[in-house]
Amino acid sequence: MSVLNAEAPDFYSSLSQNNINLLWHPSFSEASGDEFLALLEAIESDQITLDALCLEGSVMMGPQGSGRFHMLSGSGRPMFKVLQSLARKARYTIGIGSCATFGGITMSGPNPGEATGLQYEGRHKGGLLGTDWISPGQLPVINIAGCPTHPNWVIETLLQLSMQELDTEQLDSFNRPRSYTDHLVHHGCPRNEFYEYKASASQASEQGCLMEHLGCLGTQARADCNTRLWNGEGSCLRGGYACINCTAPEFEEPGHSFSVTPKIAGIPIGLPTDMPKAWFVALSSLAKAATPKRLKVNATSDHIRVSPGQHQKKDKKA
């Protein structure tokens, strides 16, 4: 559903302009029932070439590894068996969303459905296809993680594959496309000035930085949400919500409320990815001492109360 929000060009135009033929999708395609089963048979018998197998949602293995919690209607086959068969045929296999990539929200808690990702179970390799699995196109499962994914992350990855410009060097340590994970959600955050001075919000709706008290993980989250905006102008932070790092494995079970920042001796546990703790403490103290009054007031307000001042030049005396 997210990918339908692609703009300039839209999803279907992007596919047609790059000669990508969408064989089937449960929401986008009219074919169902016998037509779909016939398509699967044609792929599995090599009558139709499958270049990219794209999965949305986690793989359901339960109960007790039987897969009977998720059967392919009309076939008598567990869906995970169908996925294994198609993955052997597809040149590339792609997990779209954090459930397909790492198991996601479906895997949280006691996980009675035995949900897993295609090649990861949380942050651990394995999943449905196994640790060492490689596609016929010589790539592991490509993990377009996110909950949900940005439409352009999906389209860009498909275009890179169609042009044969995606290789292992273009994937990060969790096999996510580096086109978006070489960035941090922190980049382009509209609250960055508050972050720099550690002028923090203390409750929802306030304008200050959300990292110190309200659980924001934007300085750790690998994604470009604030520089590649959603629907032309949106992001979680621009909507007033803290980043929960939804592109990371196991984001769904942080061990505490999403809206709380865990601390030890008053220092947030979730520090910026590549900043030593001692540096952060020193810089925070200095920054807070230098915080302009405007930021102190506005950080704990639900709207701008103090506008930026204008620098006044002193008249020179003759």
In a domain, 318, yes or no: no
Same domain, 171 and 191: no
What is the distance between the alpha carbons of residues 238 and 5, in angstroms, rounded to a whole number? 18
Residue burial 244-275, b: 16+ Cβ < 10 Å; e: rest: bbbbbbbbbebeeebeebeeeeeebebbbeee
Same domain, 52 and 160: yes
In a domain, 8, yes or no: yes
Same domain, 150 and 227: no
In a domain, 267, yes or no: yes
Same domain, 44 and 8: yes
pLDDT number for residue 286: 82
What is the distance between the alpha carbons of residues 301 and 205, in angstroms, rounded to a whole number? 8
Q: Which residues contact 128 (CB under 8 A, 6 or more apart)?
A: 59, 61, 80, 83, 84, 116, 117, 118, 119
Same domain, 47 and 173: yes
Rounded (5°) CA angle 39-58-1: 70
The CA dihedral of 195, 197, 201, 207, to the nearest 10 degrees, is -70
pLDDT number for residue 32: 87
In a domain, 310, yes or no: no
**Three-class SS state of 114:** coil
How many CB atoms neighbour CB 146 within 10 A? 25
CA 287 to chain centre: 31
pLDDT number for residue 266: 77
Same domain, 27 and 83: yes
How many structural domains are present in the chain? 2
pLDDT in tens, 16-34: 999 999 999 998 899 889 9
Residues in the chain with pLDDT values less than 50: none
Look up the domain containing 289 and give its range. Answer: 183-303
pLDDT number for residue 309: 81
The answer to whether the bond into 276 is cis (omega within 30° of 0) is: no
What is the distance between the alpha carbons of residues 309 and 27, in angstroms, rounded to a whole number? 53
In a domain, 64, yes or no: yes
In a domain, 308, yes or no: no
Domain closes at, from 145, 164, 180: 180
pLDDT number for residue 108: 93
In a domain, 288, yes or no: yes
